Structure 1
Amino acid sequence: MKKLAFLALFFIQFATFAQVEDAWVYLNAKPDSQQYLNNPLTMLTQRSLDRRATQNIALDFKDVPVYQTYIDQIEAADGISVMAKSKWLNALHIRGTQSQINALAALSFVTKVDFADKTLNGPSKNRTLQTINKVNKTMETASDFNYGNSLNQIQMLNGVQLHQQNYTGSGKIIAVMDGGFPAVNTVAPFARLRDNNQILGGYDYVNRNENFYAGLSHGTMVLSTMGGYVEGQLVGTAPDASYYLFITEDGNNEGPLEESLWVEAAEEADRLGVDIITTSLGYSVFDNTAYSHTYADMNGTTTFIARGLDIAYSRGMICVVSAGNEGSKPWHYITTPADALHALAIGAVNAQGNYASFSSYGPSSDGRVKPDVSAQGQASVLSNLAGNITTASGTSFSGPIMAGMIASLWQALPGKTNEEIMQLVKESASIYNSPNDQIGYGIPDFYDALQSTLGIQSFAEGQFLVYPNPVASVISIAFPLGFDNVKITLYNTLGQEILQKNITSQSSEIGVENLKSGIYLYQIESNGTTQKGKLIRK
């Protein structure tokens, strides 16, 4: 009996020792880096290079792919499986036993090995694993009656006026990171995207195949808040933007590999020249609780995905991240990557603009304002898998609603950097001067953000807009619906007429490059209404 007991104990200990672990192995070089840097189109598309040039971002070591010979050697190591790779962090996500993974440290090109189970990395400072309920990483769905259409969630952000001026995301590309996009290729709310070839492609990183019209329906609903269109029922916040659809979320497992897949997809988004990444995912508690994060890890620099997001930002992209749906749960804080230093984390409010109780709140563990801003996430109007227009709740929807408006704003301000656009959004928010832990800086006013930048002269609702003012070469005239046959006349300070033009579209541009610098007077007439003002030519 003693012998049998000993053998049983031995096998238990052996099984524990032989448990397969997740880890990242960091590499110290890219021997072929100069070859890539000398030929940038071998690692990035022209659109990606153009985005860098616009924002004065130089190429660097991070842009170079992971050295393939190193990948091959690690894959050939006993018992090791390579699950994902990151050129930005020069790291591989691997699986193997603890001893097999530790053996890799002997390779000359390996800098360090970092286990997902931090206790295997040696002593850590005051790390306490929390035993709490598993976090819903995507959303709490609360379908209910369709109360109308999507006007409120756009109007709340004062985005209707951007759309009326044809700032609808055209020319901008958004990458959606989610768990799947079934029916996007078939149901009616996405017909406009399909007909106009606005879905540029995608990839399933979980299953390593090109069928991204599969997986969880969550991504389908997320996409509909930006790109969906059903006349009289649903208009997304960026109906004319283009989209890449990436599956990084494994619906069957919750583990750190999903963070690595996200970073890999973000690198591909960068390569393709994407402008905005929107992510309605968040991570804190994993199936293997030894891998779980603590609130202390929500400091913007600890998790793999947060570090990857900050590099995405450094490449010139804006990363919009749902704050999380844990506000009324034991884990009530934001989840990663919403904690990233340069993530634009989005909280949720209801239709009246009040904090939605499920929305995760901040601050980050190092004391930064989180979420950054908020949008309607309670009873958001969207398309479900069947193509029916319904409502659902979660920061999963306030995030992409915000991302679409950012695309529309950036279309209007193409010369701005990602940092400048993000700051404009924050500064336009309702409680910018007194942020709180529930809705951050508050609800942005995108029209105010546009006005403050273009120098638009502000008129009462229902009047005409003349911008920019002062003007260098071209002024734009925008006017409300219901006005037609608009005539604009420019006068010099002596009252002499120097230019007259009739406008028939809702928005029109007039060249003034031939005018001398100085002050001019304008008069706009339409439908018995006259508006006068001053225009400054730089």
Structure 2
Amino acid sequence: MKFNFLLFLLLISSVMFSQEDAWVYFKSKPNAQSYLDNPLNMLSARSLERRTNQSIALNSTDAPIEASYINQVKLSSGITIKAKSKWLNALHIQGTQGNVLALKSLSFVDKVVFADRTLNTTSKKVSTDQVNKTSDKLKTTIDYAYGSSGSQIQMLNGQILHQQNKTGSGKIIAVLDAGFPGVNTAQPFKKLVDNHQILGGYDFVNRNENFYTGDDHGTMVLSTMGGYKENALVGTAPDASYYLFITEYDPTETPVEESYWVEAAEKADSLGVDIITTSLGYFAFDNPNYSHLYSDMNGSTNFISRGAEIAFSKGIIVVASAGNEGNKAEPHIGAPADAVSVITVGGVTASKTKSSFSSIGPSYDGRIKPDVMALGSSAVISDALGTIRVADGTSFSCPIMAGMIACLWQAFPSKTNKEIRQMILASSDRYNSPNNSYGYGIPNFGATLGVETFETSSSLFSVFPNPVQTTVSFLFQSDTASISIYSVLGQKVIEKQITNQNPNLSIEMLKSGLYFYTFEADGLHKTGKIIKQ
């Protein structure tokens, strides 16, 4: 009997004194107007310029949390502040259930929400037995030591943008991940470092500025965009600039990582970042009481997804990996991939079939997810030692896509993030018949420039730019080709041999108007039209 009573006391003590994760939300920001009147006190000039260019007005979400609120919560008994979000006007805290609930007595507190939904009085107790322990902080499978990165760019017809010198220059990408060791020392990142394209970063987990540490997942992610090693790896945005933020602690999976992510996204916004790419995702946590349910994947429930949506409202494009759970009992996308405006990227093989591990949609509220697809099986990456390898995961299809988006936005600098997102979807090969395995399909970034492109199993051919002012270029795989240009009356006006090394044809002498071409190379015959401006 005594033993049972002691056991009962131990159980009660465990409930009373165990540390719980929770968010405390505040009712207002009493000093918001003073910040709105002096916006440079909260946002950089580049951040304000991005908003001006997209006609986005400042609002109270841009203002910091009231400092006195933070101080009073900090001084509350048994409460530890882990992260904060001005966008959601909330703090991520840890404390016992009793100490957390005591915060409700503060006049400025709007509500308290526990990560364990069973502790929220408005929530029904739910079973999480059906949710396996998963981690959308996507792991890599290294297959062999060397490969060519051309296929992951050509699959998206991204070489067209590169050939037009649209390589991400002038765009800033924030990478939110688990660590970036080796970026400051490994050869494939030398170009980024030497050209000062790493603008800075921060470790939100350990609260210090040493971001060249942690898990090398972020290093590999960055390499698909910014890596450069001749004849081995060329990233999709080699001339973009980057901020590197650590928001994930790889050994564990806990709800506070979602709050770190939102805090980093807010920092990225304030610095004037154009694109956020994140190969992280959250569904199940180490403590099953904290795990999400599929019903949470509606774009408006999860803390991280709400933050991602606000980031988009500030003019930022947010790109997220779909996840690697396609073969699991719970195959659906996690958070923030479920957010409405996030460009969620799934993975395909070199033959453009869905990678079996790529997580599927729809979102719980029935929206098409993922949005688009890119190479996720045997993607070419660099590790922290600078070794060029291949790896599997939507962790890599996501940044491959993000880099191409930077190049596209460079080509169309006056477009808003909403317009760029729509251009990407509209160029995709399943745009007219999307589904929840492939989304809208594989984008054609060449098509966004009006480039005529043909691809077969044995050849790749394209003509760009079109319309053209002075020089038209031909992309082909043979050594040489014969080009003839005809007027609308059928008169041959140009005939020339070109090589793969110098595939350019000057039409500067032609008058403006419509012309037709014929192309012959090693049995490949193509015809089409060219518009001379």
TM-score (norm 1): 0.87
Q: Is 2:383 the counterpart of 1:387?
A: no
The alpha-carbon deviation at position 140 of structure 1 amounts to 3.5
Q: 1:217 to 1:458 in 2, by over 3 A?
A: closer
The alpha-carbon deviation at position 116 of structure 1 amounts to 0.5
For 1:62, what is the secondary structure of its paired residue? helix
The alpha-carbon deviation at position 15 of structure 1 amounts to 2.2
User: Does the Cα contact within 8 Å between 2:147 and 2:390 map onto a contact in 1?
Assistant: no
- Aligned match of 1:479: 473
User: Structure 1: how far apart are the matches of 2:472 and 2:532?
Assistant: 15
Taking the TM superposition and a 5 Å limit, the aligned residue runs for 1:315-330 are: 315-330=314-329
User: Structure 1: how far apart are the matches of 2:506 and 2:40?
Assistant: 36
Q: Structure 1 regions of 5+ residues with no counterpart?
A: 470-474, 484-490, 492-504, 512-517, 525-530
Residue identity opposite 1:134 in structure 2 = K
Q: 1:463 to 1:202 in 2, by over 3 A?
A: closer
Taking the TM superposition and a 5 Å limit, the aligned residue runs for 1:300-311 are: 300-311=299-310
Q: String of CA shifts for 1:162-218, please: whole Å, max 9, x gaps.
A: 101101111100000000000000000000101111000000000000000000010
For 1:202, what is the secondary structure of its paired residue? strand
- Aligned match of 1:361: 360
Q: String of CA shifts for 1:278-334, please: whole Å, max 9, x gaps.
A: 000010111111110000101111100000000000000010000000000122111
Q: 1:534 to 1:213 in 2, by over 3 A?
A: closer
User: Structure 1: how far apart are the matches of 2:504 and 2:402?
Assistant: 24
User: Does the Cα contact within 8 Å between 2:309 and 2:341 map onto a contact in 1?
Assistant: yes
- Aligned match of 1:87: 86
**4+ residue stretches of structure 1 with deviation over 6 A?**
456-463, 505-511, 521-524
User: Structure 1: how far apart are the matches of 2:170 and 2:385?
Assistant: 29
Q: Which shifted more, 14-23 or 271-280?
A: 14-23
Q: 1:341 to 1:533 in 2, by over 3 A?
A: closer
- Aligned match of 1:151: 150
Q: 1:533 to 1:114 in 2, by over 3 A?
A: closer
- Aligned match of 1:247: 246
Residue identity opposite 1:479 in structure 2 = S
User: Structure 2: how far apart are the matches of 1:458 and 1:356?
Assistant: 25
User: Does the Cα contact within 8 Å between 2:118 and 2:124 map onto a contact in 1?
Assistant: no
- Aligned match of 1:106: 105
- Aligned match of 2:412: 413
Q: 1:509 to 1:59 in 2, by over 3 A?
A: farther
For 2:446, what is the secondary structure of its paired residue? helix
- Aligned match of 1:515: none
- Aligned match of 1:527: none
User: Structure 1: how far apart are the matches of 2:505 and 2:416?
Assistant: 26
Q: String of CA shifts for 1:352-379, please: whole Å, max 9, x gaps.
A: 1111001101111111001000000000
User: Structure 2: how far apart are the matches of 1:284 and 1:292?
Assistant: 6
The alpha-carbon deviation at position 150 of structure 1 amounts to 0.3
Cα root mean square deviation, aligned: 3.4
User: Structure 2: how far apart are the matches of 1:367 and 1:459?
Assistant: 34
Q: 1:96 to 1:507 in 2, by over 3 A?
A: farther
- Aligned match of 1:218: 217
User: Does the Cα contact within 8 Å between 2:160 and 2:464 map onto a contact in 1?
Assistant: no
Residue identity opposite 2:206 in structure 1 = N
Q: Structure 2 regions of 5+ residues with no counterpart?
A: 480-486, 488-501, 518-527
User: Structure 2: how far apart are the matches of 1:522 and 1:434?
Assistant: 34
The alpha-carbon deviation at position 12 of structure 1 amounts to 2.4
For 1:342, what is the secondary structure of its paired residue? coil
Q: 1:534 to 1:258 in 2, by over 3 A?
A: closer
For 1:220, what is the secondary structure of its paired residue? helix
- Aligned match of 1:514: none
Q: String of CA shifts for 1:131-172, please: whole Å, max 9, x gaps.
A: 443113222422112463100010000001110110111110
- Aligned match of 1:75: 74
Taking the TM superposition and a 5 Å limit, the aligned residue runs for 1:488-503 are: none
Q: How many residues align?
A: 511
Q: String of CA shifts for 1:34-78, please: whole Å, max 9, x gaps.
A: 111011111000110111011100000000011111100100001
Q: Kindly, what percent of the aligned residue pairs are identical?
A: 56
The alpha-carbon deviation at position 130 of structure 1 amounts to 2.9
User: Does the Cα contact within 8 Å between 2:321 and 2:337 map onto a contact in 1?
Assistant: yes
TM-score (norm 2): 0.88
Q: 1:520 to 1:356 in 2, by over 3 A?
A: closer
For 1:479, what is the secondary structure of its paired residue? strand
Q: String of CA shifts for 1:492-517, please: whole Å, max 9, x gaps.
A: xxxxxxxxxxxxx9999999xxxxxx
The alpha-carbon deviation at position 435 of structure 1 amounts to 1.2
Taking the TM superposition and a 5 Å limit, the aligned residue runs for 1:454-469 are: 465-466=464-465
User: Structure 2: how far apart are the matches of 1:386 and 1:147?
Assistant: 13
